[in-house]
Amino acid sequence: MTSSSVLDLAPVVPVVVLEDAADAVPLARALVAGGLPAIEVTLRTAAAVDAIKAIAAEVPDAVVGAGTVISAQNVADTVAAGARFLVSPGWTDVLLNAMKGSGVPFLPGVSTTSEVVALLERGVTEMKFFPAEAAGGTAYLKALSAPLPQARFCPTGGISLASAPSYLALPNIGCVGGSWMVPGDAVAAKDWARVERLAGEAAALRG
């Protein structure tokens, strides 16, 4: 990874849900070709760990990470599979310690000011803000930037191509996470050209 920060790899991190690990490599190649090298494979399906393993082994230009990490076992399994970053929807001390001990960058999830302050106390300055739209969106994140300028975020949850630029324009946002460039119907149809085109549109976004 050229940067130790997940937030600096690309303006958008695709959030991928894969039902079939066989789709992982062509999907990842399409996203990389479109300009989105950081790919978050969520642990919402039984295929996720195998998908991470396949991308790590066969798509060298991709920086594959694991999302929906909620346990120390998730951390161990996904890092062993080749995950190069970890993303959680929320955090506990047990989970945070496991992610800190993993040796790879991580983004613990927050949605309140107190959670942000608690992570700052523990030396963590980069976080996922989730669920972004439901938790207050750009107005909430803008309000956090004045009292807590040292915290940087990757908001995820309900963000679209249309709303992403308003997030990326904020000083405390490194990137956004979204799934609009990997629509379920395109994945089901194995329409990798469409995924690449959508990824290209997302990669062109700048704050």
- Based on DSSP, count helices (H) and strands (E) in the chain, helices before strands: 9, 9
Residue among 53, 126, 128, 196 flagged as catalytic: 128
Q: Which residues contact 89 (CB under 8 A, 6 or more apart)?
A: 68, 70, 109, 128, 130
Q: 48-58 and 24-33 helices cross at what angle (nearest 10)?
A: 50
> Tokens 């990137």 appear where?
175
Question: Among candidates 150, 97, 98, which has minimal Cα distance to 127?
Answer: 150
Q: Which residues contact 55 (CB under 8 A, 6 or more apart)?
A: 24, 25, 28, 39, 41, 62, 64, 82
Other C-beta atoms closer than 10 Å to the C-beta of 34 total 23
Q: Is 40 a catalytic residue?
A: yes
Residue among 19, 40, 58, 100 flagged as catalytic: 40
Q: Is 190 a catalytic residue?
A: no
Question: Among candidates 184, 177, 187, 182, which has minimal Cα distance to 198?
Answer: 182
- CA–CA separation, 187 and 45 (whole Å): 15
Query: Which residues are annotated as catalytic?
Result: 40, 128
